[in-house]
């Protein structure tokens, strides 16, 4: 007969960890999307002038995320910055997201045919109008699947913040496992919660894409 030491309070502890995971993901995507949009436009429209920016972003894409967490957390203590561990997690994840989203935006902008942009300019549209009404709408549809995959990836990458002391979903599950010694059950529940959160995000993204297709 199946029996377990897992209590209702343990489930609430897991759900609280899942809420922290969602908060980290939300802030990281917000920071990364806003800055990544700006950086991506600079990389696409001014490739030579923005070359130093590309080198910096390459460093954040190349260095493992765990190392970035540890280094920034240590640097915060050395410099004396009064930033919480949650703030460190949001900043590092935000910069990491921006580094990848920059290339997604750049690819979306460069996918817009140059002949179409020339035609819009010949019709009297200014550079800003061309960017707003022609380039960005078309680039958004191209970049959206990549952005959605990035969101799902960042949600899973939040598990690494446990190394700087944040109790998110995975850290919460490990705490419970240490206490009740039932890793299979607890990790299955944690995995199910990750799956449900990812499924909701994926379904919302798929619905938005279908609406775009219906409006074409």
CA 120 to chain centre: 33
- DSSP for 21-50? HHHHHHHHHHHHHHHHHHHHHHHHH-TTTT
* Whole-number Å distance between alpha carbons of 143 and 43: 15
Residues 210 and 215: their CA atoms lie apart, in Å, by 9
Length of the chain: 216
- Residue by residue, pLDDT tens for the chain (216 residues) are 557 788 889 999 999 999 999 999 999 999 999 999 999 999 999 999 999 999 999 999 999 999 999 999 888 888 888 889 999 999 999 999 999 999 999 999 999 988 888 888 788 888 888 888 888 888 998 999 999 999 999 999 999 999 888 999 999 999 999 988 888 999 999 999 999 999 999 999 999 888 877 766
Q: Which domains does the chain have, with CATH numbers?
A: 8-215 (1.10.3720.10)
Reduced to 3 states (helix: H, G, I; strand: E, B; else coil), residue 1 is coil
Q: What is the pTM of this model?
A: 0.92
Contact 130, 121 (CB under 8 A): yes
pLDDT at 216: 60
The pLDDT value given to residue 68: 94
Helix (H) or strand (E) holding 207: helix 183-215
Inter-residue contact 72 to 92 (CB < 8 Å):
yes
CB 177 within 8 A of CB 186: yes
């Amino acid at each position: 007969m199946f029996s377990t030491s897992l209590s209702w309070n343990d489930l609430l502890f897991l759900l609280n960890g899942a809420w922290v995971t969602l908060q980290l993901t939300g802030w990281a995507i917000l920071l990364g999307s806003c800055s990544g949009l700006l950086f991506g436009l600079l990389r696409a429209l001014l490739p030579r002038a923005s070359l130093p920016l590309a080198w910096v972003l390459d460093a954040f894409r190349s260095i493992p995320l765990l190392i970035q967490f540890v280094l920034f957390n240590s640097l915060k203590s050395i410099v004396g910055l009064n930033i919480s561990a949650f703030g460190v997690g949001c900043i590092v994840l935000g910069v990491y997201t921006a580094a990848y989203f920059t290339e997604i935006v750049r690819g979306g902008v460069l996918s817009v045919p140059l002949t179409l942009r020339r035609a819009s300019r010949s019709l009297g549209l200014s550079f800003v109008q061309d960017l707003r009404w022609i380039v960005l709408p078309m680039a958004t549809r191209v970049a959206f699947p990549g952005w959605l995959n990035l969101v799902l990836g960042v949600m899973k990458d939040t598990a690494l913040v446990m190394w700087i002391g944040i109790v998110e979903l995975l850290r919460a599950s490990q705490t419970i496992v240490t206490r009740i010694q039932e890793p299979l059950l607890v990790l299955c529940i944690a995995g199910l919660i990750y799956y449900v959160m990812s499924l909701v995000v994926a379904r919302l993204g798929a619905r938005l894409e279908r609406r775009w297709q219906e409006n074409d």
